[in-house]
Amino acid sequence: ESAGSDAKNLRVKLVLLGDSGVGKSCIVLRFVRGQFDPTSKVTVGASFLSQTIALQDSTTVKFEIWDTAGQERYAALAPLYYRGAAVAVVVYDITSPHSFHKAQYWVKELQKHGSADIVMALVGNKADLQDKREVSVQDGTEYAEKNGMFFIETSAKTADNINQLFEEIAKRLP
């Protein structure tokens, strides 16, 4: 097919991974419903939502999103959700070096056990909290580059870069 001439409808299984409290559920809520919940509850097990976007060439991409629970007690469940996923979005909180280390753990886990052709994105969330930043843009960028990932900083609170995150993922689908 020549680029841009034929409309396609893609369906994509996407999993979000990352430490508890980094904002995974808020990113999904912002993307799917355009809302932000400052009192967001911790996710139990995982939750499922879907959202369809249209690209410029009139391709549509339906994201089937598995929002996993970041609390340690749920770690053993993660393979159920990332197995067979075409896309993994690994999230950390730019104010938390611990969450950045946890993100690296998930990247290694995905490299070992995820699909061979998985598209991976590294997301530094809570970019609105610049005065509390403890993970530099450079640290995120370098780690992502080394691991062949797409990198972006987002804010589920202000909506900054949330749609861009999913649009960039869509562009990178095989």
Q: Which is nearer to Mg ion, 25 or 154 (CB)?
A: 25
Region near Mg ion per CB under 5 A, out of 8-16, 35-43, 118-126, 130-138: 35-43
Total binding residues toward ligand GTP, as defined by CB under 6 A: 22
**Minimum distance from CB of 35 to ligand GTP (Å)?**
11
Q: What b/e sequence results for 117-151 when a residue is b if at least 16 CB atoms lie within 10 Å of its CB, and e otherwise?
A: ebbbbbbbbbbbeeeebebeeeebeebbeebebbb
The answer to whether the CB of 18 falls within 8 A of the CB of 90 is yes
Per-residue contact string for residues 17-36; x = within reach of ligand GTP by CB under 6 A: -x-xxxxxxx----------
Residue of 43, 99, 125, 155 that binds Mg ion (CB under 5 A):
43
Question: Which of 69, 86, 120, 170 touches ligand GTP by CB under 6 A?
Answer: 69
Distance CA 102, CA 163 (A): 24
